[in-house]
Amino acid sequence: MPESGSVELVWLFGPFAMYLVMLGVYYVWEGKREKKIRNRYEETNHGQ
């Protein structure tokens, strides 16, 4: 009984753990993307 209970809990909270990872990936990726865009512009601007 306790074993099947723990399996159920993995199914229950597994998605939430995955969502947390997704949030981390989004936050880092979005930050890098903004930085890249800004850097690229600064280079272009200095070039002109």
d(CA 14, CA 25): 17
Query: Which residues, numbered 4-43, are part of the site for another protein (CB under 8 A)?
Result: 5, 8-9, 11-13, 15-16, 19-20, 22-23, 26-27, 30-31, 34, 37-38, 40-41
How far is CA 45 from its chain centroid? 31
Which stretches of the chain bind another protein, using CB under 8 A? 1-2, 5, 8-9, 11-13, 15-16, 19-20, 22-23, 26-27, 30-31, 34, 37-38, 40-41, 44-45
